[in-house]
Amino acid sequence: MAIFKNSMAHKVRGYMKLHPQATVKEVAEGLGIKSHHVHSTMWRDKKYGAPKRTYKKRTKNTWKTVAIAVSNTPINPPPPPPPMPAPTPEKDTVNSPEHYKVGGIEVIDFIKAKLTAEEFRGYLKGNVLKYTSRAGYKDDAAQNIGKLVWYASKLQDTHAT
């Protein structure tokens, strides 16, 4: 059992050791605690006995040398770190995003195939207007301007053919 130097029971025991004839009320008043703390400490000591010191005093040198190894051979250096992987190319989110190629055909090519030339030009004009109006207000402005230029270039290509 551990002895806690600042515990209530330790204080009660110390006071009672100095004043063996003191009553419970006098011990409680002398320590400034409630009398039930004194009663419970006395009951515990009567039932289980007052705790004894259970720890050993520490001696100065408790460490012992077990073995010392000496060698003339050098310690092997650690293996070199594995080579760094090649940097992956940055994804182009404007000209050819990966999510537009699902299914083996780019979405813009599919839309062009399904619409007439006039409808496709209207689609491109609509996207030019959309990216013009939202540039600087939604998402990344540079990306929106890049998409604006891309759709304007596509629109220009349809007029040239």
Rounded to whole angstroms, how far apart are CA atoms 48 and 6? 20
First CA to last CA distance, the chain: 96
The predicted-structure confidence for 57-108, as pLDDT tens digits, reads as follows: 666 666 676 676 677 776 777 788 888 887 777 777 777 777 777 778 888 8
Q: What is the rounded average pLDDT of the residues 9-15?
A: 86
Q: Is the pLDDT of residue 118 over 90?
A: yes
Full 3-state SS string of the chain: CCCCCCCHHHHHHHHHHHCCCCCHHHHHHHHCCCHHHHHHHHHHHHHHCCCCCCCCCCCCCCCCCCCCCCCCCCCCCCCCCCCCCCCCCCCCCCCCCHHHCCCCCCHHHHHHHHCCHHHHHHHHHHHHHHHHHHCCCCCCHHHHHHHHHHHHHHHHHHHHC
Render pLDDT for 26-65 as a digit per residue (tens, 0 to 9).
989 998 889 888 888 888 888 887 776 555 666 666 667 6
Task: Please give the model's pTM, rounded to 2 decimal places.
Answer: 0.43
